[in-house]
Amino acid sequence: MVSHLETGALTAQFRAGLRTRSFATAKLNAPTAEHRVVPVTTADGAQLRVHVYGPDTAPTLVLIHGWACSIEYWNPQITAFAGEYRVVSYDQRGHGESTLGTAAPSEHTLADDLSAVLDATLRGDEKAVLAGHSMGGLTIQAWAKHHPEQVSRRASAVLLANTANAAIRWETDMLPVLNKQLTVAQYPVTLLGAPVRMPQPVSESLLFAPLPIPGGWLTQQIFRGRILTPEATADEVD
């Protein structure tokens, strides 16, 4: 019988392999720019994986990933900006190689973690451009809510990408059925004029199950057609 610790080790190894895999599409691969690791430990003991790319004297850009992602989500952006800018990115707690700590994940931990990363990476009274995708956008909003005195001192500009500011559980279809309008001969397919939505208990039960998403052709087609776009490449789907 495989023990809990052995299962955890195998899972960590599998996830690490996903983060370090190579793609035919060069921009999706790890940046060639050298980086330095900045150790950050939060007040409740979470150890955050923080990377800094690019020239130390350049203006700073902070990239904050979304749910179920990691630093590697930003590989194309890091590659594009690290020559001219100083790019900071980190694994949010419980993601990538960052640990969970002892506090229950909440808007407070999102806010405090970002504050800790900024304290560890920004130089003196330096301001940075902050970019947050999905949960990363929620992180910036939580930081502004719980640390308002830091906003004008730390942020020169903010980009919130594909995110929300309220009712995210009820307004977002993580596993869409027909919540996007499908066009057949230019007529949208809906049910009684409204999109067909995945029942919330069903989608959350599937998403929070401690099981990997199965691979294969069917999963690829679902990701391409419902989460990405029909034009998405094989590497983007992968």
Residues in the chain: 238
Domain that holds residue 10: 4-167
pLDDT for 178 equals 55
Considering 82-86, 180-184, 208-212, the range whose residues carry the highest mean pLDDT is 82-86
Q: Which DSSP state fits 212?
A: P
Q: Is residue 191 part of a domain?
A: no
Q: What does the pLDDT look like over 56-94, one tens digit per residue?
A: 999 999 999 999 899 999 999 999 999 999 999 999 999
Q: 153-171 in b/e burial notation, b at 16+ Cβ within 10 A?
A: ebbeebbbeebeeeeeeee
Banded model confidence at residue 110, pLDDT cuts 50, 70, 90: very high
Model pTM above 0.95: no
Banded model confidence at residue 188, pLDDT cuts 50, 70, 90: very low
Q: What does the pLDDT look like over 127-155, one tens digit per residue?
A: 999 999 999 999 999 999 999 999 999 99
Banded model confidence at residue 173, pLDDT cuts 50, 70, 90: low
Q: Is residue 199 part of a domain?
A: no
Banded model confidence at residue 174, pLDDT cuts 50, 70, 90: low
* Average of per-residue pLDDT across 190-211: 70
Q: Is residue 94 part of a domain?
A: yes
pLDDT for 42 equals 97
* Number of domains making up the chain: 1
Residue whose pair of structure tokens reads 């947050």 in the numeric block? 132
Which of helix, strand or coil describes residue 64? strand
Q: Is residue 19 part of a domain?
A: yes
Phi, psi (deg, nearest 5) at residue 43: -60, -30
Contacts of residue 149, defined as CB under 8 A and 6 or more positions apart, other chains included, come to none
Residue of higher predicted confidence among 187 and 30: 30
pLDDT for 181 equals 47
Banded model confidence at residue 15, pLDDT cuts 50, 70, 90: confident
In sequence order, the β-bridge partners of residue 192 are: none
Q: What does the pLDDT look like over 31-48, one tens digit per residue?
A: 998 999 999 999 999 999
Question: 85: domain CATH number?
Answer: 3.40.50.1820
Q: Is residue 197 part of a domain?
A: no
Phi, psi (deg, nearest 5) at residue 222: -65, -45
Q: Is residue 205 part of a domain?
A: no
Compute the mean pLDDT over every residue in the chain, rounded to the nearest whole number. Answer: 88
Q: Is residue 113 part of a domain?
A: yes
Q: Is residue 138 part of a domain?
A: yes
In this predicted structure, the answer to whether residue 3 has a pLDDT above a threshold of 90 is no
